[in-house]
Chain A
Amino acid sequence: MRSEGKAIPPPQEGESAPNIIQELDIMFPSEPSKASFSDLASLAEKVYLRYMTSNAHYDALGDIPRPTDIYGRPGSPMESVDKKVEKHGWDGDRQMANLTLRMRDCLWYYELCHAIVDGDIGRVMEIIKVGAMANI
């Protein structure tokens, strides 16, 4: 299992970046016993909180302080690509904020479709409820 904060080394000059399958092979080595379900579930929870919630969207915009238990230690501040578009002094990440909203919306849609296939009308209603509040 990939340890927290350990990144795959960036490609050297002249090397092509590994594709995602190669990266996953590095992250999850062939011994199945190394990856326990609880480890994987805690990693999934972290990914969910970082990329699939409305709070993550506001975090990315820099509107609220980023909790260190979800994001780890703060890295170097983002720099806006087009400084004319954003307000002076704004240090958010617009692309990450938009991506977070997209992943959140897609998760709701994915769940809506799968809950219908599973025949779980209760799960469908939960998504309808939150979708109605978010104008989906």
Chain B
Amino acid sequence: MRSLQQLGERIKSKEVSVVWIYDNIQRNYNPWDQSVAHKSEMRTGTAATVLVMEDVPKGTFDPTQFAKRLHLHSKLCFEDLENEINDEHSNHIQGIGVATLLSIWTKYIPHLEHLAPQARHLFTNDHKKHRLQLRKSQFYPLKTSDIDESRPAGAQDILGDIAGQLGLKDEDFKDLLIPVAGDQVTVNNIRKLKMYTSTDRTSSSRYTWVLPWIQLWHMKWAALRSIFHAHWSAVDGKGLCGLHTDCKTLSRKHINPGKCDFYSHTDFIFDTFEALCLGALR
């Protein structure tokens, strides 16, 4: 608790930049003797962690500078993005596509194994963009709570709870901008919370200091679901190609595109993609 209070002081003085991460935890409660007062139920709570960010350029999380940057990008239009993707970006993606093919071929074809370091070199040098330094993360697990984060009011309670554990008061948020990360529901609830409280008096109660941020893992999961949504045909059979047919061919029993469990489905996508890349050599 003391170290959390110290961390709060460091956040207040802008010595460190942090990201607050929270997600719901659910647990089945099954009493031995069920009665009206004690019955089986799903109990919901929240677990939160504070993560210290590294290599943050000065002024990145300054609210004034952030507002200026937003204003600068307010004129960004679809054509600008499209042009950027078509020009500079397509070369990068093409380079990545070629490097991916090379890494798969050199991984699975024994006679090409000796070229694997050169294929790896493409990712670490030619096509690298912004590699993070390898270091041990500083993170602070917080006390779990019984708050249900599935509604904007729950998000408000959690933000208050985390601030309380770090010893931050309302006036401390005046010059702060804190990324708050979670899944899509969390981001949606925080956006709603900011909208509902937009006419409040203080910046603290308007939650202008909160920057909703979806976590990469949840982003990956959403991308995985979209692949299954787009490429899983309702029927499978001879003469058809697609994820459904491949699933039957490989006898994968735990593939359910409706549920889309992350790890088994990612393995399936990787396996079929690598097989297609090898098959492209035919």
Contacts and interface: CB of A to CB of B under 8 A. Distances in A.
Interface of A: 2, 8, 20, 23-25, 27-30, 32, 35, 37, 40-41, 43-45, 47-53, 81, 95, 98-99, 101-103, 105-114, 116, 118-126, 128-131, 133, 135-136
A62 to B, nearest CB: 18
A50 B270 CA distance: 20
B25 interface: no
Contact of A41 (B93, B102, B277): B102
B115 A107 contact: no
B105 A105 contact: no
Contact of B130 (A98, A109, A121): A121
Given A44-B98, A133-B81, A126 B239 contact: no
Interface size class of B (residues with CB under 8 A): 35 or more
Contacts of A32: 111-112, 114
B280 to A, nearest CB: 5
B129 A126 contact: yes
Interface of B: 81-82, 84-85, 89, 92-94, 96-98, 100-102, 105, 108-109, 111-112, 114-115, 118-119, 123-124, 127-132, 134, 216, 219-220, 223-224, 226-227, 230-231, 239-243, 266, 269-270, 272-273, 275-282
B127 to A, nearest CB: 7
Contacts of A131: 223
B100 A111 contact: yes
A128 B81 CA distance: 12
5 contacts: A28-B111, A51-B280, A102-B243, A116-B220, A126-B92
Nearest to A135: B226
Say whether chain B's binding surface is mostly helix, strand, loop, or mixed: helix
B109 A106 contact: no
Contacts of B124: 118
Given A81-B239, A95-B241, A41 B98 contact: yes
Given A27-B281, A52-B97, A112-B220, A44 B105 contact: yes
Max chain B C-beta neighbours (<10 A), residue from A23, A102, A125: A102
Given A120-B132, A122-B128, 17 more contacts: A20-B278, A23-B281, A28-B109, A43-B281, A44-B98, A47-B101, A48-B101, A99-B241, A102-B276, A103-B273, A106-B273, A107-B96, A113-B220, A116-B216, A121-B130, A129-B81, A133-B82
Nearest to B128: A120
A107 B100 contact: yes
A86 B242 CA distance: 19
Contact of B111 (A23, A30, A101, A123): A30
A-B complex: 4 closest residue pairs judged by Cβ atoms: A122-B129, A122-B130, A48-B97, A44-B101
